[in-house]
A and B are shown apart, each in its own frame.
Chain A
Amino acid sequence: MTCCILTTCVGEENWVDSRTIYIGHKEPPPGTEAFIQQRFPDNRIVSSKYTFWNFIPKNMFEQFRRVANFYFLIIFLVQLIIDTPTSPVTSGLPLFFVITVTAIKQGYEDWLRHKADNAVNQCPVHVVHHGKVVRKQSRKLRVGDVVLVKEDEAFPCDLILLSSSRDDGTCFVTTASLDGESSHKTYYAVQETKAYNAEKEVDTIHATIECEQPQPDLYKFVGRINIYMTNEPVARPLGSENLLLRGATLKNTEYIYAVAIYTGMETKMALNYQSKSQKRSAVEKSMNAYLVVYLCILISKALINTALKYVWQSDPNKDEPFYNQKTEAERQRHLIRAFTDFLAFMVLFNYIIPVSMYVTVEMQKFLGSYFIMWDDEMFDEELGERAVVNTSDLNEELGQVEYVFTDKTGTLTENNMEFIECCVDGHVYVPHAICNGQVMPGAAGMDMIDSSPGPAAREHEELFFRALCLCHTVQVKEEDTVDGIKHGIHQGKSTSFYISSSPDEVALVEGMKRLGFTYLRLKDGRMEILNREDEVEKFDLLEVLTFDSVRRRMSVIVRASTGEVYLFCKGADSSIFPRVISGKVDQVRARVEQNAVEGLRTLCVAYRSLNPEQYEEVFQQLNRAKLALQDRDKQLAEAYDLIEKDLILLGATAVEDRLQEKAADTIESLHKAGIKVWVLTGDKMETAAATCYASKLFHRNTQILELTTKRTEEQSLHDVLFELSRTVLRQHGGMTRDTFSELSGDCTDYGLIIDGATLSAVMRPGQEGSNSGNYKEKFLEICRNCSAVLCCRMAPLQKAQIVKLIKASEEHPITLAIGDGANDVSMILEAHVGIGIMGKEGRQAVRNSDYAIPKFKHLKKMLLVHGHYYYIRISELVQYFFYKNVCFIFPQFLYQFFCGFSQQPLYDTAYLTLYNISFTSLPILLYSLMEQHINMDILKKDPCLYRDIAKNSLLRWPTFIYWTILGVYDAIVMFFGAYFLFDNTTFTSNGQMFGNWTFGTLVFTVLVFTVTFKLALDTHYWTWINHFIIWGSLIFFVVFSLLWGGIIWPFLNYQRMYYVFMQMLSSGPAWLSIILLITASLLPDVVKKVIWRTLWPTTTERIQTDDHTSCKYFASCQSRTCR
């Protein structure tokens, strides 16, 4: 009846959200509860989006949800329905082309996913069926099946561990493919079932599992197992330590038996693969804005022409001259005629919206992202990793970053911890081995810096070492089979490793080893340590109060062989000191602060001894919390809070985390590039500040503004904020005045340090109404004027909050967040661009990021080179696309004025169709992949160049208007050039006249050459591929035209282009006018470029010129000041 009692006492509130699993599909004994077989999905993993049957409809539907595609579909349908000037082919074929290219790409990706799914779904699994092991395909696995998994096999679905080959019911698992943590984690079987470790025995287990419905959080699970033993049902809590996740692999354990609880798409892994919210780049936003402008232009063009057509038609002789009579049907339709005329004009001018722009942009992004992956300079030898692109949508956003939010540990620093010293009651111990890179002399196990302590102190000292040896979750790995980079320690002949998800712990345990206390292993719930006298001490591990980033500490409760029960606690100073009741707090605090200033990571260690009654109480509290089905975490946190109190301070440790290679150089470059760098860390202020100085985030002459709890204790937050903003603004105002007198710009820059508590006070919403908003603005104002900001003591969510705050500020700056750990995921997801570092704290950051790089230093090339290039490339791509379509369609608009607004197309159908998809598509695509306006090395050496493209500068409205006007000008030159040329004269020496198609072809030829040459003029980087594509596409145009006009095409009901192109080329004036018109079209752009380059050169242009003429020496380039 325990079961029922327990059922009523824990988490009954939310039964709806739980599921019951009958292990081995066996009914529970009658009377306990109703047997309701719930239905669960099978174990089929479907990551593919389409099936063979629904691919076409579903893919079409998804593609036509995009506005541009839908627009062209509408145009196409209009062309089919009404009597249109151009054949439906002209918009149908490009649309078909675009849709097909996209469909092929998506289909291919989906085919790959299908293949992967099939491989996974069909791989065999072993299921215990009626006491026998049966092979099954993975997809046929059902919830409730008991599965046998052997060593090095991956789990086929989410399983609850029942028993393992090991007697203690544990097994080791690596979750490398889930989160990249290659360390082995231990999972536990429930005490009552761990004995059933053979197939016959397992089949006799009679139990049900109740657990929550699947949730995507990998690290949370609550459930309960009810075991029907002989007669008394027993209930045991299940937590994430019992749950084996699909995707993880069994290690170092011969086999396990486990029961499937979540299958197929309900596994935590599958739930985690759901797509993240899409990020859109600033360029894409500008692109959409331009599109709207062009749509307006299109509609107004159509309206103007429709109106003019009606004015024109008011004269019946013009409306219906004797030579062009209408049919009866046409005369009837007066009402809808206006509308169909409007539609016909829309159709005629619809090409102004560049149909292939989206597909080109998509291809550019997709193909362009390979250059990031291929970059050898972003390959890390040590890790064997290269840069990873998770979303190619944001390539150009890398060139627009204004704020970089970086994590400290593992991002700026190596996260490669080295034990430096420890301090027990104010006595400092330094391990003799390596200190600051120098081998310290000394044969003894330790160097005493202070005088030798008395016996009481000695007892404390030993307790401290034991505490550090016991209070951790480090595992010992005996063989040399660990993958990844781990610390190897040589212990006699056999090699063993310490493995932990936290590098600090490994460093501490190793440091203890050097100080004489070696942690040997955990066996049968007993931790064994080797003390200085080479005696093995054994401690029963009673409880582990695991680490979390909110508490910022962890504890263990152990029972020594003497029977005493201790609670050892270690954690951040801020989370330990308030809980300490005795110990030499002041000495330790002083030492901790000193270490923190040196940039070391410090931890404090404390203990509490528990008498049996206290322990019993603690045990009860923990057990209650652990058994809770709902809110278990909250209850656990409360229990921990109650238990970890009344501590006695033992001492502190200091661990060094070295700066990553070239971190300082990278930060300096980012600063020069005009990017503001913020460090967001959970670390202490002093440690973080020291790192900031080391990484040159703060310089020696940086004036540090502090906005910390310490200051707000003295003054009110209000006063501090206002004082700081006054300081900053005074300087700022002074600076603008001084710019004339003092060009060197040697003014002090400011660095702000703020801590989590103060930040939350600043961010706290409206307790004083308008005032709180004021705080935020003041804070932003201060930040805006600081070159560097350090936020310490940050909780993961606060990091995201900061990013959000900056994102939402007036200027809407582009933000980038970079981090390596799970605590950075929130900010990586929040920022415009999220970058993951392939660090030691697992792969979560990498998985959630948009781009992942092996080291922080690679950020420099990522932003300054790749980001810059992509931005330059895509902005030209976007502007050029609009430009070339204006050039294309504006002559057609002008032609309407000379053909009685009759919607007569200027160009032939083939030209209308192929202009965007073949004659002018490849050169710009290639440009947008290859263009390098400046050498890569200069970009890296001279970060100032990044400022030239800041704030989306190449896609601002003036630039856009310039391009559009250029397009209109070119169109006017082309059209009227041809117009005057055709004006009442012949161009051939045989006196024959040319017709309207020759007129259009002449304009079109000039058009194709002009837009291609325009691109050629803009190309600064001519590789053989550029030459090939640019000249090739012009040759293709000529060859196509010759061919198109060269034969009478069968199955075509008109032959209007027959010999038109050849006839045109046979005339001298046509050649002369083509040359003239091309020159006249390109002339103003060239002049503008040269004059602008001379009068108002951007830094980029200066460097281009310098690089071109004399400055091959970088010294002078480098010394250029950023203004």
Chain B
Amino acid sequence: MVKQESESANRPDNTAFTQQRLPAWQPILSAGIVIPGFVLIGLAFIGIGVALLVTSRSIQVLELDYTGDGNGSPCSSCSQSTTVNCKCSLNFTLDTLFQGPVFFYYGLSNYFQNYRRYGASKDDNQLYGDLSYFTSPSSSCSPYDYDGSKNPIVPCGSIANSMFNDTFTLTRTVSGKTDSVPLDGKGIAWWTDYNVKYRNPSVTPLKNAFNGTVKPIDWAKPAYELDTSDASNNGFVNQDFLVWMRRAALPNFRKLYRRIDASGDYQNGLPAGNYTIDITYNYPVRVFNGAKKVVFSNVSWMGGKNEFLGIAYLVIGSLCVVMSVVMLIVYAKFKFPDEE
């Protein structure tokens, strides 16, 4: 009896798991499943691709370079001088209505906001409005943490320091009458950036919070004077500042500058007419062979104009179909003789 018990004690558990016999679905990637699957996926992709391409084609984009490289270009004089707030203007004509909502971007190229050291050069705590970091900025901001006389810089770091400082105004000339196009600067930055991630110190007036600090070296005015007209757009929560602070992924990038305020004449976008962009030219890009441009674009449900996605869908979709045909041929030719 004792022996019997010891035997059964040593006997392995006879469960489906221990015997590796759990019930299982055993799919096989056989031609029979894959070929119809590919056809279906291919057709679906082609469908999506066509839809995307059509949508993308319907999006209007107007892109104007104002770097001032060539002598004939309107901003060439500004690009060569080092004058502060150099003025120049660009003219363009719309023959038809530029369907709204219209977004007004500025674009930089060959500009590396994705340099590692550049990207690290900011102090999130400072930008969260933590006053203790005003007087002692994070060392990651170096060399933009203290100025020559050891005063702390607020906001510190190279991202903030290099904030884009060209400004634009858009005017429309209708039958000799110049009409300024209303631009809306609200909501151009991420909601979370504006409301959560960046905060002004809760000191009124805001100017007092910056006592003992200096403005970034390349800035014309301190942070608390970025938009003196609107307290909710001033300091660290200034929308232009927030847009700049979100680093672009690639060296050629656009950043949202304004939206065309959909009111009055501009209810449906930019009506046909002659337009002028008055530029306050400050930002130097020619030293590093960069370029600057302004872009008007409207969007669809899928965002801005992007032919790539539609084409890629079409390519992959047709590849799927082609592959399924190839597989079918291979299958038919080589499979059936084998069955004999």
- Which A residues lie at the B interface, using CB under 8 A? 85, 317-318, 321-328, 370-371, 373-377, 379, 381, 384-386, 483, 869, 898-900, 902-905, 930, 932, 935-936, 977, 979-1000, 1017, 1020-1026, 1048, 1053-1055, 1058-1059, 1063, 1067-1069, 1072-1073, 1076, 1079-1080, 1083, 1086-1087, 1089-1091, 1093-1095, 1104-1105, 1108-1109
Contact = CB atoms under 8 A, between A and B. Distances in A.
A1091 B327 contact: yes
A1021 to B, nearest CB: 5
Contacts of A1069: 302-303, 306, 309
Contacts of B288: 317-318, 321-322
B330 A1091 contact: yes
Interface string B296-311: 0101111111101100
Interface string B86-123: 00000000000000010101010001111111110100
8 contacts: A322-B287, A325-B158, A374-B13, A384-B6, A982-B250, A984-B253, A985-B303, A996-B114
Contact of A1093 (B3, B29, B256, B305): B29
Contacts of A995: 246-249
B14 A999 contact: no
B34 interface: yes
B289 to A, nearest CB: 7
B51 to A, nearest CB: 10
Given A371-B20, A379-B12, A993 B243 contact: yes
Nearest to A372: B12
Contacts of B28: 1020, 1104-1105, 1108
A1121 B301 CA distance: 60
Given A990-B187, A993-B255, A1055 B197 contact: yes
A1073 B306 CA distance: 12
Contacts of A370: 18
A899 B41 contact: no
A1080 B320 CA distance: 9
A340 to B, nearest CB: 13
A979 B22 CA distance: 44
A1057 to B, nearest CB: 11
B323 interface: yes
B38 to A, nearest CB: 8
B121 to A, nearest CB: 8
Nearest to B323: A1087
Contacts of B124: 1053-1055
Contact of B31 (A326, A1024, A1094): A1094
Nearest to B289: A317
B269 to A, nearest CB: 13
Given A1021-B24, A1023-B23, A1079-B41, A1090 B254 contact: no
Contacts of B192: 1058-1059, 1063
Given A984-B107, A996-B248, A1076-B316, A1063 B197 contact: no
B48 interface: yes
B45 A1079 contact: yes
A1076 B44 CA distance: 11
Contact of B252 (A900, A984, A993, A1000): A984
Nearest to A1085: B29
B71 to A, nearest CB: 22
B254 A993 contact: yes
A1053 B133 CA distance: 12
A206 B243 CA distance: 99
Interface residues of B, number: 100
A869 B20 CA distance: 11
B266 to A, nearest CB: 15
A703 B20 CA distance: 42
B197 A1068 contact: no
B335 interface: yes
Interchain residue pairs A-B with the least CB separation, the first 8: A323-B162, A999-B249, A384-B7, A374-B18, A991-B103, A987-B303, A996-B249, A985-B304
A991 B184 CA distance: 12
Given A384-B3, A384-B7, A1022 B249 contact: no
Given A1021-B26, A1055-B197, A991 B101 contact: yes
B308 A1080 contact: no
Nearest to B121: A324
Contacts of B219: none
A903 B116 contact: yes
A1058 B124 CA distance: 12
Nearest to B118: A324
Contacts of A979: 250
> Which of A1021, A1023, A1058, A1089: most chain B CB closer than 10 A?
A1023
A903 to B, nearest CB: 5
Interface of B: 3, 6-7, 10-14, 18-32, 34-35, 41, 45, 48, 52, 101, 103, 105, 107, 111-119, 121, 124-125, 138, 142-144, 158, 161-162, 187-190, 192, 196-197, 218, 243, 246-256, 259, 284, 287-289, 297, 299-306, 308-309, 312-313, 316, 319-320, 323, 326-327, 330-331, 334-335
> Which of B30, B249, B313: most chain A CB closer than 10 A?
B249
Nearest to A384: B7
Contacts of A379: 10-12
Given A323-B161, A1069-B306, A904 B330 contact: no
A371 B143 CA distance: 61
Contacts of B29: 1017, 1086, 1089-1090, 1093
Nearest to B4: A384
Nearest to B139: A327
A1022 B24 contact: yes
Contacts of B45: 1076, 1079
Nearest to A1077: B312
B31 A998 contact: no
Given A85-B116, A386-B11, 16 more contacts: A386-B10, A898-B250, A900-B112, A900-B251, A904-B115, A905-B116, A988-B299, A993-B246, A996-B113, A1020-B26, A1024-B22, A1055-B124, A1059-B192, A1072-B313, A1087-B326, A1091-B330
Given A904-B116, A1076-B309, A1079-B316, A322 B284 contact: yes
Contacts of A1053: 124-125, 138
Nearest to B143: A327
B116 A902 contact: yes
> Which of B10, B19, B289, B308: most chain A CB closer than 10 A?
B308
Contacts of B334: 1094-1095
A944 to B, nearest CB: 17
Contact of B52 (A325, A980, A990, A1072): A1072
> Which of B41, B259, B303: most chain A CB closer than 10 A?
B303
Contacts of A324: 112, 115, 117-118, 121, 158, 162
B114 A902 contact: yes
A987 B304 contact: yes
A1070 B142 CA distance: 36
A932 B313 CA distance: 35
B12 A1067 contact: no
> Which of B10, B116, B143, B305: most chain A CB closer than 10 A?
B116
A221 B118 CA distance: 77
B49 to A, nearest CB: 9
A434 to B, nearest CB: 25
B187 to A, nearest CB: 7
A323 B122 CA distance: 13
Nearest to A1002: B249
Given A376-B12, A936-B21, A998 B249 contact: yes
Contacts of B118: 323-324, 902
Nearest to B162: A323
Nearest to A936: B20
A500 B334 CA distance: 65
B23 A1076 contact: no
Nearest to A932: B20
Contacts of B251: 898-900
> Which of B13, B250, B289, B320: most chain A CB closer than 10 A?
B250
